[in-house]
């Protein structure tokens, strides 16, 4: 198992998750990756590749990748046998939920999914604050969500099924389906931009820090939690046969350290390190605006994700 640090290896290759759907098991289907190649910290080039191609490169002993990153990518890659264990000292400070028990990945930053709403159209006292508030006739045909597997409607469905239980959750979702929620293949960020533009009053299941960043820039938008909010996290790990393991470990040691976590904090993203608050503290639970969150781990997403997509397609795409 690689150690921490080292002088060899000036170049690190980083695979980052692209917001695409996987229709099958690890290594199959349409999940694509953005592969970013860094040299001395400077981005040289970016290109997209299908995961099967990435597996062929490794099975053909062409080891191009050092680090694999995303909400589910390290878990999918681990199932395919292309990850390796690593140890980074800072991960000892992280709770068990934010690191893999086998040492395959650690969380770098957190995501909390809430409502986003246009403040020129919806007043703060009118915005839905409980799940049942979404049934208000006013919101029929006036809400939108993304179809994204990893952060859109399927993940909201998953949160509801996990937090309410299968029977109560399905009953709730069937009723929600009568509200004619608009759907888009756009990202959650783009969905929020549609709300800011006034095309829809409310977006379901957007990243709360995106709404905060836009509001700080002067956009007519705010976020509202409905508890328990969906919580996911970006995680990062070391590829098997990494061509530059020492450089890769230097990167991993940095990104999990408080110094590395401050990079997220400084741009209003949400650090995973438990001792690093968000720059706007109430974007994370327990700081004033919400307390409860359903943390959906990469393993749960891997095991349940297709089930949630099937439910969405069966009941919301009619």
Task: Return the domain boundaries, the chain.
Answer: 11-109+233-279, 110-230+299-316
Phi, psi (rounded to 5 degrees) for 115: -75, 150
Q: What is the pLDDT of residue 183?
A: 96
228: preceding bond cis by omega (within 30 degrees): yes
Question: Which has the closest alpha carbon to 240: 83, 47, 91, 49?
Answer: 83
Cβ pair 111, 270 in contact under 8 A: yes
For the domain made up of 11-109+233-279, the CATH class stated in words is alpha beta
More confident residue, 26 or 174: 174
**Is the pTM for the entire model greater than 0.85?**
no
Q: Is 52 a residue whose pLDDT tops 80?
A: no
- Other CB atoms within 10 A of residue 271 CB: 23
Mean pLDDT throughout 148-154?
91
Mean pLDDT, the chain, as a whole number?
85
In whole angstroms, give the CA distance from residue 187 to residue 106. Answer: 24
Write down the CATH superfamily of domain 110-230+299-316: Periplasmic binding protein-like II (3.40.190.10)
- The two structure tokens encoding residue 145: 């969500």
* Least confident piece of the model among 32-41, 114-123, 213-222, 285-294: 32-41
- Other CB atoms within 10 A of residue 287 CB: 13
Q: How confident is the model at residue 61 (pLDDT cuts 50, 70, 90)?
A: low
11-109+233-279 against 110-230+299-316: fold identical: yes
């Amino acid at each position: 198992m690689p150690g921490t640090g080292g002088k060899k290896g000036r170049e690190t290759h980083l695979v980052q998750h692209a917001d695409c759907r996987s229709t099958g098991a690890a290594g199959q289907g349409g999940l694509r990756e953005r592969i970013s190649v860094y040299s001395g910290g400077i981005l040289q080039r970016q290109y997209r590749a299908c995961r099967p191609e990435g597996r062929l490169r490794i099975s053909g002993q062409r080891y191009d990748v050092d680090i694999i990153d995303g909400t589910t990518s390290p878990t999918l890659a681990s199932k395919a046998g292309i990850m390796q264990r690593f140890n980074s000292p800072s991960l000892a400070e992280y709770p068990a939920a934010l690191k893999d028990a086998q040492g395959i990945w650690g969380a770098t930053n957190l995501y909390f999914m809430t409502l986003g709403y246009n403040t020129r159209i919806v007043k703060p006292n009118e915005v839905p604050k409980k799940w049942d508030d979404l049934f208000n006739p006013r919101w029929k045909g006036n809400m939108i969500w993304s179809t994204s597997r990893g952060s859109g409607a399927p993940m909201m469905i998953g949160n509801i099924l996990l937090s309410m239980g299968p029977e109560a959750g399905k009953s709730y979702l069937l009723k929600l389906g009568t509200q004619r929620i608009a759907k888009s293949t756009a990202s959650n960020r783009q969905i929020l931009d549609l709300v800011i533009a006034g095309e829809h009053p409310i977006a379901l299941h957007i990243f709360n820090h995106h709404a905060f960043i836009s509001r700080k820039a002067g956009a007519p938008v705010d976020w509202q939690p409905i508890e328990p909010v969906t919580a996911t996290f970006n995680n990062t790990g070391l590829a098997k046969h990494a061509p530059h393991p020492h450089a890769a470990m230097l990167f991993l040691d940095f990104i999990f350290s408080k110094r590395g976590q401050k990079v997220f904090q400084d741009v209003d993203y949400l650090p995973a390190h438990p001792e690093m608050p968000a720059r706007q503290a109430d974007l994370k639970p327990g700081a004033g605006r919400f307390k409860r969150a359903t943390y959906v781990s990469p393993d749960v997403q891997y095991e349940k994700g297709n089930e949630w997509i099937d439910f969405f397609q069966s009941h919301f795409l009619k």
